[in-house]
């Protein structure tokens, strides 16, 4: 059962998330609609998270600000309720092909539905995340320069 719908920038596309993975739909405005399923390699829940035989749900997503040379791709942070943060990169022309998914860390708190991006693409991303039964957090994702 999907719990998040994430619109993508290109190719009339969107993502539906489930506890098991994500599904990308593209070309939804024409009869040749295409769907691609992806399994996200999930990290183990943090020690403070109650044990469960189910994957934690996806709590929220956020599109960080990107300028200039970043316009050709679409970038999404996808955050699970156990606090793990995944960074997804989609090609705008064919979002279902060549998706890059990276685990970028754990927030150290349970996450509710609200998240907002701050910062600029050349400085790193700052995410403000609402906690579930916690204060939430402000989290900084550094930029690695070549």
**In 3-state terms, what secondary structure has residue 62?**
strand
pLDDT of 90 higher than 50: yes
Tokens 């599904």: give the residue.
Answer: 23
pLDDT at 70: 65
Higher pLDDT, 119 or 5: 5
Pair 45, 111: CB distance under 8 Å: no
Query: Each residue of 107-137: pLDDT tens digit?
Result: 887 887 778 887 665 667 888 887 776 666 7
């Amino acid at each position: 059962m999907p719990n998040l719908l994430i619109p993508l920038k290109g190719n009339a596309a969107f993502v539906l998330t489930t506890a098991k993975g994500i599904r990308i739909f593209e070309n939804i405005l024409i009869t040749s609609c295409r769907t691609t399923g992806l399994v996200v390699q999930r990290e183990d829940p943090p020690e403070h998270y109650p044990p469960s035989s189910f994957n934690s749900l996806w709590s929220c997503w956020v599109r960080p600000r990107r300028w200039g040379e970043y316009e050709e791709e679409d970038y999404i942070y996808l955050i699970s309720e156990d606090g793990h943060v995944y960074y997804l990169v989609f090609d705008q022309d064919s979002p279902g092909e060549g998706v890059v998914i990276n685990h970028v860390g754990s927030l150290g708190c349970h996450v509710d539905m609200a998240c907002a991006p701050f910062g600029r693409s050349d400085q790193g991303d700052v995410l403000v995340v609402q906690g579930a039964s916690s204060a939430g957090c402000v989290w900084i994702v550094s930029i690695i320069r070549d």
